Structure 1
Amino acid sequence: MILLKDILYKVTIESVVGNTSVAVNNLEFDSRKVSLNDIFVALKGTVSDGHQFIKKAADQGALAIICETLPDNIVNGITYVQVVDTHKALAIMAANFYGNPSEDLKLVGITGTNGKTTISTLLYKLFKKAGMEVGLISTVNIMVGDTEHKTSHTTPDSITINYYLRKMVDAGVEFCFMEVSSHGIHQKRTEALQFAGGVYTNLSHDHLDYHKDFAEYRDVKKSFFDNLPKAAFALVNADDKNGAVMLQNTKAKKQTYALKTFADFKAQILESQFSGQLIKIDNQELWVKLIGGFNVYNLLAIYGTAQLLGLKELETLQLISTLDSVDGRFQYLISEKKITAIVDYAHTPDALKNVLETINSIRTGNEEVITVVGCGGDRDTSKRPVMGKIAATLSTKVVFTSDNPRTENPDRIIEQVEAGVPAEHYKKTISITNRKEAIKAACQMANENDIILIAGKGHETYQEINGERFDFDDFKIVKEVLTLLNK
């Protein structure tokens, strides 16, 4: 049994109507899930306002309502708590409801435009190989030890985060690695969590459909580091121009990693192939299976984090050399006809540029690079022509196609991507809206030793069209097509 007043501990309250010394059952922000003796928190969202559903929650048996504006009709027997910010209140209440589990393990948040999933997932794998009990909260899944749970958001809601952190603590988990998105920070989902450390990867063009402008996007990321406690560490990419910005007001221990500039953790690329690369980290040479300069940054962030959490240097390097790429992140296969197909989640201009530059730095120059790419619907439209320009400039041939069009017309999205193609590159591009047909066309164009890049969806096993999700797996499809062409 837990009392409402205990769940409200540390919440900034403006007014209370009713009794807070009442035992409550559960905490909900979705009125459809409310049942007898639950607390309903009315959140103002981008699509709807939870305050519109206060009556519904009351009718379904809510014992307490947390809101920013008290309703006109106060129902007897229900406690109404008016707060300044229901998003922040929900985060604090969720942490209290589950016994503040983030205080009982070492929670590390990874934020930035690119690399969050790779870093968090590989940290999980590395610490697991080191014999630790580990948890993971990522775009792809939530792991409680060895048990996998599916997720639908990069940073889940506050209740979900604390629910799984409590499961982790109960299962004896010592470390948890968590992706922290700008949406999650902005919507206060990470408030009231105690972080042992924060990692910053980079900042580039993304999510400007949600944030007003790039400055707001940057400042939201920065606020995560501003709020880290003194006992935590803040590890940032010193080669990224916004790395120093992240450290400006943090109370945490400031640490840096870099390939090009002075930093606490340094790396150097010595040799690159499609099978891996020889790198040097803090003057120790090692062969790693991950490809590309962007992955060296990821591995350096992993190395630095492991060192700051107390792992030994040589053990960390040995474990890094065993790590495989994450599904949908530079995931590749080589067909019988020696065609290399690479599937990558690159869905931002910077990520696409990184992947194509990596491919071009490894290839001999005699092979063609055939890129299949599109842009998601209902998202930042300004990056579309930029993606088109990058794909056309850095590839030999390009097939523009549909990504997750969501509620938009896929042909219209493709037109906006094509608009960025420089005139001298027109002839190397074609457009095929059907993504499966586009992948087939790329495979048919490819000859021995050519390289096909299928960008944008990576690990996703669906395509989202008009509110429905259809089974679609880039890696599975390209593998099937290339196998058929070999016959």
Structure 2
Amino acid sequence: MAMKLSQLLKRIDNKRFSSCGFDRDIVSICSDSKAVRPGALFVAIDGAKAKGSEFVAEAVIKGAVCIIAPLHTPSPVSAEMPFITFPDTRYALAVAADEFFGHPSGRIKVVGVTGTNGKTTITYLIRSILREAHFSAGILGTIGSIVKDTLIPALNTTPGAIEVQSLLQQMIDAGCHYCVMEVSSHGLDQKRVEAIDFTAGIFTNLTQDHLDYHIHLENYFLAKAKLFTALSKDAYALLNLDCPYGRRLVGMTQAPVVSFAIDSDADLRATDIKLSLDGSEFRLRSKEHEVTLSTRLIGRHNISNILASVAFSLTQGIGLEDIAKAVTAFSGVKGRLEKVCSADRNIFVDYAHTPDALENVLRILRQLSGGKLIVVFGCGGDRDRLKRPLMGSAAERYADTIIITSDNPRSEEPKDIAEAIASGIATKRYTIILDRREAIYEALRKAGSNDTILIAGKGHENYQIFKDKKVAFDDIIVAQECLRALGSHGST
């Protein structure tokens, strides 16, 4: 596959040719100098730790035939090679990648889901509804990308601009009608989805997270809002009106708004809610529809996720019969309030890694549990430090027993992270067990019959990241191993 440089750059205005603008055949696009091969266009992107211009010389040595770099980057190349400077190389990369792959989002319907919590569950539920209605759908998200039925592991919730466009093209080649993708605040801020024409944008909620990157909550919100300000009049904005930030978005998009809520007036509402540890039931109400929906998903937050999925599905003309079948059959997503098999205890693994997510899960388990509620959790290293005491406070409000442990400490000392979490616990006693396996074992050992244990923070992840290594670790597998070691019997 090759494309003329002039074709790739035709939508990029204000570019400056510092060297001769000979037209070249471009066989690939790269922003990572390690991936450059002969015939590549290399786009220099400034990162948090290094400037992209530092890697231009390496890209040239490896065979790049054109360079796009930030303004004022000195040209290290010969007069025969096009060297282009541009004010925003992230934008240039997104547009060039979109052009290189033939604007895939014009040939597949792309649904963007953004918000602090709920994105993964919504993307998977929408895919299930689409499949029930005989549409093929791919997924881009936290757990990975699904092209047809093939799972491709993910490094980021929202992949880089080149990978996003490549995956969209792969989905088209595989016969997919839709791509349902999680759109992170980082992905929006870094223009990874800049050139995508979204069929719909879904907003779940916004609470504290990623302030190590965004600094202020308002910046975090404005990054999320970019998905909706970019929607066309032909798209749909599906907004959660139970969240004040969702209400703000109503006036920030030109797309038609379809709202959903549990506690607020909205186009779609859930009433008559019945919750249990085996699932939920509620009455879905709108001007046109009223139906009872049953689900295996647990908790009010999952009812909100279902409302978002139903709201989108209705905009696509999918009937309530197909929607209800898919919602009833949907068993959930790996690591999202996933139940670990145990004869006498309720053991759940959940990805909750923000104060709001942890509080939501603990609140519902507190309401539905008959015995003690035990929580095991930590916080990731090199990430938002301000949320750590808030996580401790959330645990204190609902749990009877609190065990603080490690959760991807990265370059930080696990003990320092644990103590920061503990600083938010004012009255209840807690235990710090830095070894996550030992912490899970102790939680199960302490649990008696009918007690509930929540192992939070990692969910679907099957690894632990330390300062100098990445090791295999799966909360579900470890919990099962600990149960076997205990003979499936804890002690009170």
TM range (shorter): over 0.9
Aligned equivalent of 1:292, options 284, 299, 311: 299
Q: Where does residue 257 of structure 1 map in the other structure?
A: 260
How far, CA to CA, are the matches of 1:333 and 1:61 in structure 2? 52
For structure 1, which segment, 66-75 or 317-326, has the greater mean C-alpha deviation from structure 2 after superposition?
66-75
Aligned equivalent of 1:142, options 141, 145, 150: 145
How far, CA to CA, are the matches of 2:168 and 2:468 in structure 1? 31
Aligned equivalent of 2:383, options 371, 379, 388: 379
Whether the aligned pair in 2 keeps the contact of 1:222 and 1:245 (CA below 8 Å) is: no
How far, CA to CA, are the matches of 2:412 and 2:215 in structure 1? 21
Closer, same or farther: CA 351–20 of 1 in aligned 2, 3 Å? farther
Q: Secondary structure at the match of 2:252?
A: coil
Aligned equivalent of 1:87, options 71, 86, 90: 90
1:255 Cα shift? 1.2
Q: Where does residue 15 of structure 2 map in the other structure?
A: 14
Q: Where does residue 415 of structure 1 map in the other structure?
A: 419
Q: How many residues align?
A: 481
1:19 Cα shift? 2.4
1:130 Cα shift? 2.5
1:98-137 paired onto structure 2 within 5 Å: 98-137=101-140
Q: Are 1:350 and 2:353 matched, yes or no?
A: no
- The amino acid that maps onto 1:362 is L
Q: 5+ residue gaps in structure 2?
A: none
1:164-183 paired onto structure 2 within 5 Å: 164-183=167-186
Q: Where does residue 339 of structure 2 map in the other structure?
A: 332
1:318 Cα shift? 2.1
How far, CA to CA, are the matches of 1:73 and 1:437 in structure 2? 55
Q: Are 1:388 and 2:388 matched, yes or no?
A: no
- The amino acid that maps onto 1:484 is A
Aligned equivalent of 1:33, options 27, 32, 35: 35
1:20 Cα shift? 4.5
How far, CA to CA, are the matches of 1:41 and 1:467 in structure 2? 30
1:180-219 paired onto structure 2 within 5 Å: 180-219=183-222
Q: Secondary structure at the match of 1:263?
A: coil
- The amino acid that maps onto 1:436 is R
Q: Where does residue 456 of structure 2 map in the other structure?
A: 455
Q: 5+ residue gaps in structure 1?
A: none
1:76 Cα shift? 2.8
For structure 1, which segment, 68-77 or 30-39, has the greater mean C-alpha deviation from structure 2 after superposition?
68-77
Q: Where does residue 223 of structure 2 map in the other structure?
A: 220
- The amino acid that maps onto 2:42 is F
Q: Where does residue 64 of structure 2 map in the other structure?
A: 62
What is the CA deviation profile of residues 287-341 of structure 1, one whole-angstrom value per residue up to 9, with x for unaligned ones?
21000000000011011111112211222122111111100000013412x1111
- The amino acid that maps onto 1:396 is D
How far, CA to CA, are the matches of 1:474 and 1:331 in structure 2? 10
Whether the aligned pair in 2 keeps the contact of 1:29 and 1:40 (CA below 8 Å) is: yes
How far, CA to CA, are the matches of 2:447 and 2:13 in structure 1? 61
Whether the aligned pair in 1 keeps the contact of 2:128 and 2:326 (CA below 8 Å) is: no
1:223 Cα shift? 1.6
How far, CA to CA, are the matches of 1:11 and 1:269 in structure 2? 53
- The amino acid that maps onto 2:419 is E
How far, CA to CA, are the matches of 2:130 and 2:480 in structure 1? 32
How far, CA to CA, are the matches of 1:340 and 1:260 in structure 2? 29
1:72 Cα shift? 4.3
1:467 Cα shift? 4.6
- The amino acid that maps onto 2:458 is K
1:13 Cα shift? 3.0
How far, CA to CA, are the matches of 2:272 and 2:221 in structure 1? 29
Q: Taking structure 1 as the reference length, what is the TM-score of the superposition?
A: 0.97
Q: Where does residue 71 of structure 1 map in the other structure?
A: 74
1:103 Cα shift? 0.6
How far, CA to CA, are the matches of 2:76 and 2:90 in structure 1? 23
Q: Where does residue 276 of structure 1 map in the other structure?
A: 279
What is the CA deviation profile of residues 264-290 of structure 1, one whole-angstrom value per residue up to 9, with x for unaligned ones?
111125321111112111231122100
Whether the aligned pair in 2 keeps the contact of 1:112 and 1:202 (CA below 8 Å) is: yes
- The amino acid that maps onto 2:184 is S
What is the CA deviation profile of residues 188-238 of structure 1, one whole-angstrom value per residue up to 9, with x for unaligned ones?
001010100000000001000000211110111112100111100000100
Q: Taking structure 2 as the reference length, what is the TM-score of the superposition?
A: 0.96
- The amino acid that maps onto 1:319 is A
Closer, same or farther: CA 14–2 of 1 in aligned 2, 3 Å? closer
- The amino acid that maps onto 1:52 is E
What is the CA deviation profile of residues 96-136 of structure 1, one whole-angstrom value per residue up to 9, with x for unaligned ones?
00000011011000000000111112211221232211111
Q: Where does residue 99 of structure 2 map in the other structure?
A: 96
Aligned equivalent of 1:43, options 41, 45, 62: 45
For structure 1, which segment, 434-443 or 327-336, has the greater mean C-alpha deviation from structure 2 after superposition?
327-336
Q: Secondary structure at the match of 1:390?
A: helix
Closer, same or farther: CA 269–412 of 1 in aligned 2, 3 Å? farther
Q: Secondary structure at the match of 2:111?
A: strand
Aligned equivalent of 1:363, options 340, 355, 369: 369
Whether the aligned pair in 2 keeps the contact of 1:63 and 1:77 (CA below 8 Å) is: no
Q: Secondary structure at the match of 1:77?
A: coil
Q: Secondary structure at the match of 2:318?
A: coil
Whether the aligned pair in 2 keeps the contact of 1:401 and 1:434 (CA below 8 Å) is: yes
Q: Are 1:400 and 2:401 matched, yes or no?
A: no
Closer, same or farther: CA 98–72 of 1 in aligned 2, 3 Å? closer
For structure 1, which segment, 23-32 or 179-188, has the greater mean C-alpha deviation from structure 2 after superposition?
23-32
Runs of 4+ more than 6 Å apart: none
- The amino acid that maps onto 1:393 is R
For structure 1, which segment, 20-29 or 251-260, has the greater mean C-alpha deviation from structure 2 after superposition?
20-29
Whether the aligned pair in 2 keeps the contact of 1:225 and 1:247 (CA below 8 Å) is: no
What is the CA deviation profile of residues 385-409 of structure 1, one whole-angstrom value per residue up to 9, with x for unaligned ones?
1101111221000100011100000
How far, CA to CA, are the matches of 1:91 and 1:9 in structure 2? 13
Query: Identity over aligned residues, as a percent?
Result: 36
Cα RMSD over matched residues?
A: 1.2
For structure 1, which segment, 66-75 or 18-27, has the greater mean C-alpha deviation from structure 2 after superposition?
66-75
Whether the aligned pair in 1 keeps the contact of 2:140 and 2:180 (CA below 8 Å) is: yes
Whether the aligned pair in 2 keeps the contact of 1:344 and 1:453 (CA below 8 Å) is: yes
Whether the aligned pair in 2 keeps the contact of 1:135 and 1:144 (CA below 8 Å) is: yes
How far, CA to CA, are the matches of 1:265 and 1:237 in structure 2? 10
- The amino acid that maps onto 2:310 is Y
What is the CA deviation profile of residues 63-110 of structure 1, one whole-angstrom value per residue up to 9, with x for unaligned ones?
000011332434232101111100010000000000000110110000
How far, CA to CA, are the matches of 2:487 and 2:267 in structure 1? 49
